[in-house]
A and B are shown apart, each in its own frame.
Chain A
Amino acid sequence: MTARTGALDGVELALLISRVEGVARKMANTLLRTGRSGVLNIARDFSCCIITADDRLLATAESLPIHVLSGPDMMAASVREHHPVLARGDAFLHNSPYHGCSHPADHTLLVPVIDDAGVHRFTVVAKAHQADCGNSEPTTYMGAARDVYHEGALIFPGVRVQKDYRDVEDIIRMCMLRIRVPEQWWGDYLAMLGAARIGERELLALGAEIGWERLGDFTETWFDYSEARMRAALSALPSGRGSWTSTHDAVPGTPEAGVPINVTVEVDAAAERIAVDLTDNMDALPCGLNLSEACARTSAMIGVFNSIDPTVPKNAGAFRRIDIRLKENSVCGVPRHPTSCSVATTNIADRVANSVQAALAEMKDGIGMAETGAILPASIGVVSGYDPEKGEPYVNQLFLAFTGGSAGPHADAWITLGHVGNAGLCYQDSIELDELRQPLLVETRRFLTDSEGAGRTKGGAGMLVEFGPTRGDMAVAFVSDGTYNPAKGVRGGGLGGAAYQAIRRKDGAVEPTPNCAVVTLATGETIISHCCGGGGYGRPEERAPERVARDVREGWVSPDRARDVYRVALDGAGAVDAAETARLRGAAG
């Protein structure tokens, strides 16, 4: 297309947004296909996005929501603050949760897109969860870290890692000395850099093609358009206030009763605004669960976006209609250095997002969602050890099983959602590939009967995984929330299945383990991990009896549970016994 003048029309807007989103998609495709570690190229735990020169989120490819809604904007701002003069060829490494990053394991490369006149136009962002980030223990999720010193990660608050398109070798050498399996990190770094540079190249071409001023006009129009879409979505919600509390299990460093997260949501449909208040929460804890500011903001937004029209664009324009209230030094607010935010993207963040969507569901039938199952069970733990056959150490996060999907108002759950902040983006590992890459054998991976959150629509079932090392000892690190506080249903929906973890010793004895631990397995031992089910939506006795009959036939639900919870009776052939079901349901009502 050629340069135009005058007001942007709907046609040109549609055309330009697909071009810009195409740039982000291309970045993501590069990272997926070229990443070195399993956490990137198998599980796809990374995100790519484009930020305006004044630090507003413009476009994301298919990205982990918890990575991008807020955070890249704050990181881009901190880079500008720390480096007032940006030049073409610069790249910045960022993972500081005190300056906008989600958590230290999410290494982020930010590349300023500088036009031929030297003007900073956009910042492209490639953000990827690392297999290791130099923590004091071989895990990227240090749930038990007392503070950032105990956590141990190298922290880069937006550090120039390329100048004139050349690496600043000092930084690379620091990383190579402190990150486990440095060659793996280096491969991932190159893949991230490749992605960011492709984004830079494509945006430079786009700006040259249609003109930077025009592209600037476009971004403003796109933000206004997105805001208008958001206003329309919010005006369809009921005005009012709702509150919800979701409690994270106790781990070392938390109170014994766990960490209750209190959220209040306020919708003003007439003003087309929504507010999420996270201030009524405890102070930051001496453990790794505390949220970064990026994750506190983002988790609140995820709960909102999960509850409205899914096609509303997620960018700074839509965000104008969301007010998020945070408190300094809170477990889910703005952390102060040296508070540890090692596990910020998942556990507490999920409790926040779940509370928002559950509070909305309780305000009106037909909106919101049930609670999604919690994560970081052993089935997605970080495994490490030394492979005597290959003669080399290994460390990687497995994604053998994660479920947790919660019921929506109209549809059963997407079972393998992962967790609420992930939205089903990540892949589950191929067992065959895991067995080839690491010296381990998976004994079982299957769904668990009766682990779904019962409801008019069902939460997803949980999964059982059992695996162990085939050569040498293997450490498995996990922070398994949901063991004591499984996902709650909404509007009368039931609980999802709880997490559980245990070690099976060589003699067959099964010993439960703590929910937050780094355990070591010897060859011949296995770890048993249950990952959580998701909560149900609506009363189970409102579920269509034919669907319950199918759930029984397919082995998701036992006949007893069908009768006791769903109040559906089946005949000998597994068909609905209509008369008995009516009697049961009548008695229930």
Chain B
Amino acid sequence: METIRVAVDVGGTFTDICILDETTGQIRIEKTASTADPIDGILTGVAQAGIDLTKVALFSHGTTVATNALITRRLPVTAMVCTEGFRDVIEIRRGNKQELWDTYKDVVRPYVPRRHRLTVKERVGADGTVVEPLDEAGAREVARILAKRGVAAVAVCFMNAYVNGANEKRMKEILQEALPGVPVSTSSEVLPEIFEHERFSTTVANAALSPIVVSYVNRLGDRLKEEGYKRDLLLLHTGGGVMTPASVKDYAARLAGSGIAAGAIASRHIAMLCGFRNSIGLDMGGTSTDVSLAYDGQSRTTKDWYVEYGYPIRFPAIEVLTIGAGGGSLAWRDEAGSLRNGPQSAGARPGPACYGAGGTQATNTDANVLLGRLGTSLAGGKVMLDAGLARQAVEDTVAKSFGIEAHAAADSILRVANANMSDAVRLISIARGFDPRDFALVAFGGAGALHGVHVARDLAIPVVIVPPNPGVTSALGCLLVDIQHDYSESFLRAASDVTAEELEAAFARLEEEAAARLHHEGVAAENIVLQRTVDMMYQGQWRSLAVSAPSPVTDISALVAQFHREHQREYNFRRDGAPVGLFRINLTAIGVVPKAELASHAPTGKTPAPIGRREVWFEPDAPTDTPIYDRWDLPAGFRFEGPAVLEQVDSTVLVPPGASAEVDPRLNLIIRVEG
């Protein structure tokens, strides 16, 4: 009987393995160093944890393989075949610059160099008519050249192919004849949507990643099979679901950003378990913080997404805002005398000064140590921190130049770090029309629980949730996902010209395709959930708003009315008489996977004893005598008032004065920030 679920999140430094025993609901964590070939680290971790793969019901995996390949450009030789006259689309991009005044950086290069972008005569018009048929002789010549160059993947990207992909399809056939075994992606299959740069860029990323990701997934799948795992390996994609290896070859670029989505999913799930349908995830690690938002139980997704600026990947992605604020972020004074924090980081080497590995500049971790918020013995004594070095760094880099006392300096450092994180939360909440007071903040990652209450207070967020294993929450996220495929199709029509039957028929086509894919992946019909949205806009706009659509669609005017309301909420005005257009239809097809049930603990009524006390500085002028607890000593149902510090292997939780906390049955810590 297979009763074990395993989730593996491979990060830059650590491979986190989260193991759930379904029979007991107990979760175990294994951490091991990531390896050059991530598969070695995964199998080492699996062995270390003593997992018997023959007993594993589900093995899910979040990977940075795709993201890293894009960033480092370690991509197989990929070619692009374009409509004549348009080989530069992906290099022209949309043109605009990320930082207007910075004239000091060279431009990041496209994923396919110019010499591998070939053209062929063909043209489709905006209405789908073939203005010029594919020049078959030219197409064969292109195929011959690419075969000679030995390319490993090809993307076919023709103008207006989103409305008529016939020429692309024919080009693909010709390429497949000449290049047997070489994967060929067409833009009309990968992303049948208007906007040539966005479609081409996605297609190119998909084509270039396909050989790498497919080989990685196959190798890992084979190794797991050799060890006795019998099911499909499930891969976490950016959209917040998992997919099977069978889908990876068609949608390789969906794995870019795989790891980031895991934290957002876990955050949402934990908040839901605690009864909060609205939540903000604050995942603070060593070098950066990822902020995500879930509203009414749904994660925010975006299609405005990229790994590198200028090269969009238009597959839906869970919206995560990453800022350069982590435990290792450096504090510094700019030339006009303002205190700054990050985005530069001390990294893993030398790390914060208190690690004693040669770092001399003050980091957030040093400030936390100096203030007593972080103890000097971490990870159960495996990592010892030097408070003297922390103090030295804070004095040298901040206190002296500002002429203030070291504790005041450390307090300032953390206030700036918290302000940076608050800004990110504001961007993802207030700037989108969400009021933070209606949300719970889920603080996790190695450092999130040290900062969560301060960030929440800054934004009037009433509740902070700290999961039981804050440091490995992302891995937990990989255990909590369903199989998910996202489909979309351009549907450029005026609302007044569309009948409910037409829209229903368009959705039905997508649903048929989606259901077939899920069926192929072994999902039973009763576990299939289909969610429809329509992207709509006032005629003339081109950035659309997603409006959820019923099944079946019976009334277009109801959709239009809902669009007016959404527009009012998002942008503060509506134009009731103005013509409304439909832009695109989207379908999210979910194959529900039975969820991990975390163990529930009955209250014991016991009051745990602190493992010690120390002076912790919550204000810059004086310290407070504060009890220190081992987090695992705190039973379900235990309530207490701040100040308190909770230590655990993968994190430290700070409960400042004025806050109160309670341990819930699943051992989440629920902190009311104002007591």
Chain A residues within 8 Å of B, Cβ to Cβ: 1, 9-11, 13-15, 18-19, 22, 25-26, 29-30, 32-37, 41-42, 44, 62, 65, 184, 187, 190, 193-194, 197-198, 201, 225-226, 228-229, 232, 305-306, 310-311, 314, 369, 399, 401-402, 408, 410-412, 414-418, 423-428, 430-433, 435-436, 441-447, 463, 466, 470, 553-556
Contact = CB atoms under 8 A, between A and B. Distances in A.
Interface stretch (B92-100, B259-267, B386-394, B518-526): B92-100
B664 interface: no
- Most B Cβ at <10 Å: residue of A41, A229, A408, A414: A414
B194 A430 contact: yes
Contacts of A32: 543
Interface string B422-449: 1100110011000000000000000000
A113 B94 CA distance: 35
30 contacts: A14-B339, A14-B416, A22-B427, A34-B543, A41-B543, A187-B538, A194-B573, A306-B101, A306-B103, A401-B92, A408-B104, A410-B104, A411-B104, A416-B95, A416-B97, A417-B97, A426-B95, A427-B95, A427-B96, A428-B95, A430-B195, A430-B198, A432-B126, A432-B195, A435-B126, A441-B131, A444-B85, A447-B91, A463-B88, A553-B115
Given A423-B100, A445-B88, A193 B195 contact: no
A194 B419 CA distance: 28
B105 A428 contact: no
Contacts of B85: 442-446, 466
B133 to A, nearest CB: 16
Contact of B195 (A14, A433, A553): A433
A434 B538 CA distance: 17
Interface stretch (B208-216, B329-337, B461-469): B329-337
A305 B573 CA distance: 36
B563 to A, nearest CB: 13
Interface in B104-127: 104-107, 113-115, 123, 125-126
A25 B337 contact: no
Main DSSP-derived SS at the A contact region: mixed
Contacts of B612: none
Contact of B92 (A201, A311, A428): A428
Given A22-B423, A445-B88, A412 B107 contact: yes
A275 to B, nearest CB: 21
B230 interface: no
Nearest to A408: B103
Given A42-B542, A194-B571, A432-B194, A22 B426 contact: yes
Contact of B572 (A30, A42, A412): A30
A195 to B, nearest CB: 9
Contacts of B542: 41-42, 433
Nearest to A209: B460
Contact of B541 (A10, A33, A411, A430): A33
Contacts of A428: 92-96
B23 interface: no
B92 A445 contact: yes
A36 B541 contact: yes
A409 to B, nearest CB: 8
A375 to B, nearest CB: 13
Q: What 3 A-B pairs come out closest when comparing CB atoms?
A: A424-B97, A444-B85, A416-B95
A436 B159 CA distance: 12
Nearest to A424: B97
Nearest to A37: B540
B335 A423 contact: no
B87 A310 contact: no
B336 A416 contact: no
B547 to A, nearest CB: 15
Contacts of B125: 435, 441, 470
B160 interface: yes
Interface of B: 84-89, 91-97, 99-107, 113-115, 123, 125-126, 131, 159-160, 162, 194-198, 333-340, 402, 412, 415-416, 419, 422-423, 426-427, 430-431, 458, 492, 538, 540-543, 567, 570-573, 575, 578
A62 B103 contact: no
Nearest to B163: A432
A242 to B, nearest CB: 18
Contacts of B412: 9-11
Contacts of A470: 125
Contact of A554 (B113, B402, B422, B430): B113
A430 B572 contact: no
Contacts of B106: 411-412
Contacts of A19: 426
A410 B573 CA distance: 46
Nearest to B412: A11
Nearest to A414: B97
Given A35-B541, A197-B572, A411 B194 contact: no
B573 A225 contact: no
Contacts of A62: 100
A10 B339 contact: yes
A25 B431 contact: yes
Contacts of B123: 441
Contact of A431 (B95, B159, B415, B423): B159
Contacts of B337: 10, 225, 228
Nearest to B91: A447
B97 A425 contact: yes
Given A436-B194, A441-B123, 18 more contacts: A10-B333, A11-B412, A14-B419, A29-B431, A41-B541, A187-B540, A225-B338, A232-B336, A415-B107, A424-B97, A425-B96, A427-B96, A430-B94, A432-B160, A441-B131, A445-B88, A446-B86, A447-B88
Contacts of B430: 22
Given A18-B423, A42-B542, A416-B92, A229 B334 contact: yes
A229 B335 CA distance: 7
A247 B336 CA distance: 38
Contact of B540 (A30, A36, A424): A36
- Most A Cβ at <10 Å: residue of B96, B103, B335, B338: B103
A370 to B, nearest CB: 10
B38 to A, nearest CB: 31
A401 B102 CA distance: 22
A65 B101 CA distance: 9
Nearest to B413: A11
Nearest to A466: B85
B95 A554 contact: no
Contacts of A228: 335-337
B336 A423 contact: no
Contact of A193 (B107, B194, B339, B573): B573
Contacts of A44: 96
Contacts of B94: 427-428, 430
Contacts of B93: 416, 428
Nearest to A317: B336
- Most A Cβ at <10 Å: residue of B87, B335, B336, B492: B336
A10 B540 contact: no
Contacts of A430: 94, 194-198
Given A11-B339, A33-B571, A555 B115 contact: yes
Contacts of A369: 103
Contacts of A399: 95
A463 B92 CA distance: 9
A305 B114 CA distance: 33
A15 B92 contact: no
B88 A446 contact: yes
Contacts of B92: 401, 415-416, 428, 445, 447, 463
Nearest to A33: B543
B95 A190 contact: no
A369 to B, nearest CB: 6
B489 to A, nearest CB: 15
A411 B106 CA distance: 5
Contacts of A443: 85
A556 B115 CA distance: 10
A424 B96 contact: yes
Contacts of A37: 540
